[in-house]
Amino acid sequence: QVQLVESGGGLVQPGGSLRLSCAASGSILRINVMGWFRQAPGKERELVATVNSFVGTRYADSAKARFTISRDNAKNTVYLQMNALKPDDTAVYYCNAQIGGSYYWGQGTQVTVSS
């Protein structure tokens, strides 16, 4: 069984920064893709950023120039550095990983951007 655990969410003022972390554990041989999605109240879950071992990174338009995804392969951990946060970034952020041809999700971490 694979488990993903997110951390790093919280309350931040507009223009502030947060760094999210997601650690994968369990029956893992290799992680091809790790990424972040988010879901705001009343909206569907959307892609934020992904990092692929072979093809690199991909970002949603809303995340470009503000967010940076990175990965520590030795720790099976993915990070999302979020800068210049806006109220529209408020959402539950979910970690996702492709492992052995299957997709796994974390429980999510709340990010709230407000004055």
Q: What is the pLDDT of residues 40-88, one digit of tens each?
A: 999 999 999 999 988 899 999 999 999 999 999 889 999 999 999 999 9
Cα gap 80→115, rounded to integer Å: 22
pLDDT tens digits along 90-105: 999 999 999 888 999 9
Q: Enter the tokens of residue 12.
A: 């931040």
> In b/e form, how buried is each residue of 78-115, taking b as 16+ CB within 10 angstroms?
bbbebeebeeebbbbbbbbbbbeeeebebebbebebee
Cβ within 8 Å of residue 11, ≥6 positions away: 112, 113, 114
Distance, CA of 11 to chain centre: 16
CA 82 to chain CA mean position, Å: 10
